[in-house]
Each structure stands twice: as C-alpha cells, then as structure tokens.
Structure 1
C-alpha cells in the first residue's frame, strides 16, 4: 500500500531557518517537500503567490521567509524591513487560506516583545510596552504576522500557529560584514583577525547586555514539534488571542561572555575590547520557555557546541557566506 504523504511548502527554504526546517522534514517518510527559490516564485507578488497555491496542492506551510538583519541593517533600512515582511506574510497567509490550506506555522522573532519586558519574557508580554527603537519596524511586521494567524483562526477556523524564537544562529546564516546579526558578525570578524594576525578585535557596545541564543537546528526541531501537536494539545497551552509560543534555551549570557567564547572557538588569541560609543540595544532578552517545555520539547545544542558548528560551516563556505 502506498503511503499518503503530506505536501508541505517551506517558504524561505534557502535561508538559515528554512533550510534547517527542510533538513528536519526531509527525514519524514510521510512528507513531500515543496520548495521554490526566488527566481521561481516571487513572494513579494500577490499574483505569483496566488498562482502557486492554486496549482501546488499544498497541505501545510512553514512560513520561514523574511527579510532579516542586525542592528545596523534595521537602523539603515527600516522601510524595507517593515514593508517587505508585511507583504510576504500577507501574501502567503492570505493565499494559504484562499486555497484551503488548513495548517500553517508562522516563524516570528523575540523582538516582538517590549524593550523593558519583565524577564524572562512570557508570551503574554506582547503589546504591553514600547518596543526597542532600533528594530521596531521589523517587530511590528512580525506582530502583524501573529495577528494575521490569530485572525484567520478566529474568523475562518484555520489552524495557523506561531512560534517566536530567540536569537538564532547556525549554518547558512548571513555573514554580511554590516547587515548580519551578532554571532555571524563576530565569527567573521574574529576569523578575519586571526587570519590577519590582528592584536585586537573591538566589539560594539559595552558587552553588558544579556542575550539568549538558539542553534537553528534546535529551532527547526521545535517548529516541527509544535506543528505536529494535535489541535487539542496545542489549544490547551494557548489562547485565542495569545496563540504564539516562545522557542529558546531558557539560558542567556552577556555579549562579553559571547565574544570571549567566540574568540576561543575561532582560536583568536588577541585582546577583545568594547566600543561604548556604539548602541547596546535591549539590556536583556531572555524568553520564558515553560510553555514549550510543557508541550514536550526543549533545546539540546549547547552554545559552544553550536558556535563550533556555525564556525565550521563559515570556514568551509567563506565565499558563499560573503555574497549573502
């Protein structure tokens, strides 16, 4: 007897998160993966997305496509970050509904929470205070995605779920010298300093802010776990107006500790200094992951283990990483 397989569309499959989800799903015998690169499907075009869904016979969607970047990129391209993310998520979520896709997972970001939210940050902190100004446009776009999913569930009975990961890193990350997040930026800079024999690496900010980091393979495993929960189990741990779930390790460290760990992983033996003229961003951002743990999942990749994996990927893909 032939096994009936679910046709699952992973939007953004070439990105760090999307590629990790593809790796997770590829080992499932009951899954038929559907992917399209940007040359085959323009996610910014509603007509193109509608045409795709009208013929692809999609059963489930993982919405991992997004425009992402670090503090520098968010500061310099705020219009791009809010506009492009709003358009992509509206096109995909709207088309999924119009063409009868009952299950969808939207991947957000922990930047949705207020800058001074009580730590660790619970899901019900959403919309209770001001956002971090440096990435407010991107955060608002992600909040809109959560609310799109909630609204289609309430009005149309869809099963559209949302997960909010903490700071992610790993293979296929963006190592752009200006627009990347903190881990790939530091891995690149410390590697370059080691190769060049530099005596010092200067890190943005005071080094005091605390951050939580999650390896992307853990994020992908959590995403599949949440998506495969039966409806009654998922609903028992969420609410109609609070349907997103935090994904993280539940452990954080200072940027100074992160930089020192990266220096050790890379093998840089010079001095690590901190440029206090640069912004720190949010002072602390640690997620409360108790809801996810109660649903039967927790992270398994340690920070140093994950950093070694990310660094190994970068060293073996330097040319590719440079053109992101």
Structure 2
C-alpha cells in the first residue's frame, strides 16, 4: 500500500478496528478514513453507497460487525444474522462498485464445524454442523467469505478473507452480559478482588480449550496480509496454541491478585469443546504472533484499570 493511499477501516472504534488504526499510524499512514456508527450506519445501504461514492477508499479493512459472547449470540440470533449481513453486504458492494483496489474481510473462527478435527484447517469450512449457540453469527460470516470469493471470481476484485481466533486487548468489551469469555473473566476477577469476595463463578465445566490472540498481534497480521496475500482462500490468524478455561481462570486470578476460590457452574453451556486454529498457512507466509497470553492479559488489565476503574 502506498503511504498516501486512502484507507477505510470499517469498525475503527471496535477492538480490532482500533488496533488496525494504531498499526497503520505506527507504519506512517495518515490518510485513514474513520466513521463512528453514529456518523455512518453501515446497515443503511443508501448511506454506505453515498460514503463510497464520495470518499472512494483504495483499501478497506472490514472489521465492523455486531459481536458478542455465548449469551449474546444465544439470546439475539436474529439481530446477529440480520445486522452482520447488512453491514458486510453494503461495504463489500461499495468497495466493488467504486473501484477499491483491495478489501480484507474479517471473519471468525466460529465459522468452522463444532466437531471438526483439531487444529482447525482452512479447508474444514462447510464440512459439518456449526455450534448452535453462535450459528447465526457464523452463517453471516460464512456468507461474507463466499461473497468475497464470488466478487473475485466474477469481477476479479482483490477481496481477501481472514479468520481470527478469539481476540482480546485494548478497547475490548468488558460488559459481563454480552462480552467474550476473556474480558468477562477479567472483569469478574477484578471485581471479586475489589469487593473482597471469596469466590468467583465461571460458566461451564472449565474443560473447553480456547486459543487467544492479543489484538495488536491481530492488527499486525492484517497489515502483513494486506500487503502480501492475494487469493480466494481464507487465512487463519492465531497463535496455534490453546489453554483450558480453567487454566485461563487461574491466570486471571494471578494477574488481578484474586486469592479466593474458583467455582465452575456446569449448568451453563460450554460451547465448542476445543477450538484451536491451524496457522501453518500464515506461518508459511512469514508471520507469527509475538505477544504471550500472560503478557497480553497484563497489558489488557492495565488498560482496563485505567479506563473502567
């Protein structure tokens, strides 16, 4: 990407989008288009078309999405499929119609079948049933992947798709009802320590295994792939290693200084038993994550204390 190229980061206030903006600025890019959801409702086709017609961005990072954890996905499936389809359809069509040079669509590792072999390879897409608790979100993301592939096939558009693992870090959502597991646990353990509680209750059995990637590593990978990758096939982005929820909880207790007991509520859903990405394709292209889980959690906790406490 030319240093003066006009770059649109859709979702620039979110966890991933804000990290991509930080990365671009660190690399010397200054012509970065950012719009809040109040300034530009990406669900509105007319407004999105007007934006692309006026601004004509050359590169697009499509990081905007309606996101949430198990509870949110299970409670609001209609909103998750409807709003995500609207957002991605409008942005991808706008990029095509107004001649963008390249677009990166950010999916999610939940696109893979619930009981697919581990680690999850890119070719496992659409080979089995999805995890029911986030099926609506996953189907929307799969549609985005297929839309990028269709535009590449029919029009020759350089649209690529990447699949990040579970992300966390600066600008995460720490709402206990609607956030993902890591930020929710971080807040739970912090509040337990602050209130002097003797226990923290964690949803599920603690046995599921999850992979976590620090969001600034994710942004670095996106920047790397935008410069170095052009193909219809998706690319996984992750660390290639995982931990159990119980191990993650113990790490949270250590980082926050919580000294009490961790209790597991097995009546709550575990979700997918294991979810770890095969990142050999990305590694083969020359990229690897740099931030350890312990270090990433510590950085996230420091940011949380500064902005939420």
TM-score for the superposition, normalised by structure 1: 0.93
State the partner residue of 2:61. 62
Summarize the alignment of residues 118-137 of structure 1 with structure 2, pairs less than 5 Å apart: 118-137=117-136
Offset, 1:4 = 6.4
State the partner residue of 2:248. 258
Offset, 1:183 = 0.5
CA contact (8 A) 2:169 2:300 kept: yes
CA deviation vs aligned residue, 1:6-49 (integer Å, no higher than 9, x gap) = 00000000000000000000123355111111121111100000
Equivalent position SS for 1:274: strand
1:317 aligns with 2:294: no
Equivalent position SS for 2:119: coil
Summarize the alignment of residues 244-323 of structure 1 with structure 2, pairs less than 5 Å apart: 244-318=234-308
CA contact (8 A) 2:3 2:28 kept: no
CA contact (8 A) 2:58 2:100 kept: yes
Offset, 1:154 = 0.3
CA deviation vs aligned residue, 1:119-154 (integer Å, no higher than 9, x gap) = 001000000000000000000000001011101000
Provide the rounded CA distance (Å) in 1 between the counterparts of 2:276 and 2:152. Answer: 28
Which aligned runs of 4 or more in structure 1 are off by greater than 3 angstroms? Answer: none
Summarize the alignment of residues 121-270 of structure 1 with structure 2, pairs less than 5 Å apart: 121-229=120-228, 234-235=229-230, 238=231, 240=232, 243-270=233-260
CA deviation vs aligned residue, 1:213-239 (integer Å, no higher than 9, x gap) = 00000000000000001xxxx35xx5x
Provide the rounded CA distance (Å) in 2 between the counterparts of 1:54 and 1:131. Answer: 37
Provide the rounded CA distance (Å) in 2 between the counterparts of 1:82 and 1:113. Answer: 16
Provide the rounded CA distance (Å) in 1 between the counterparts of 2:27 and 2:156. Answer: 27
CA contact (8 A) 1:61 1:105 kept: yes
How many equivalent pairs are there? 308
CA contact (8 A) 1:5 1:29 kept: no
Q: How big is the alpha-carbon RMSD for the aligned residues of Structure 1 and Structure 2?
A: 1.1
Equivalent position SS for 1:201: strand
Provide the rounded CA distance (Å) in 1 between the counterparts of 2:14 and 2:111. Answer: 21
Provide the rounded CA distance (Å) in 1 between the counterparts of 2:128 and 2:101. Answer: 33
CA deviation vs aligned residue, 1:148-173 (integer Å, no higher than 9, x gap) = 11010000001001110000000100
State the partner residue of 2:5. 6
State the partner residue of 1:322. none
CA deviation vs aligned residue, 1:218-266 (integer Å, no higher than 9, x gap) = 000000000001xxxx35xx5x4xx110000000010000000011000
Equivalent position SS for 1:158: coil
| Gap runs ≥5 in structure 2 | none
Provide the rounded CA distance (Å) in 1 between the counterparts of 2:205 and 2:106. Answer: 30
CA deviation vs aligned residue, 1:76-127 (integer Å, no higher than 9, x gap) = 0000000000000000000110011120000110000000011001000000
TM-score for the superposition, normalised by structure 2: 0.98
Provide the rounded CA distance (Å) in 2 between the counterparts of 1:112 and 1:106. Answer: 13
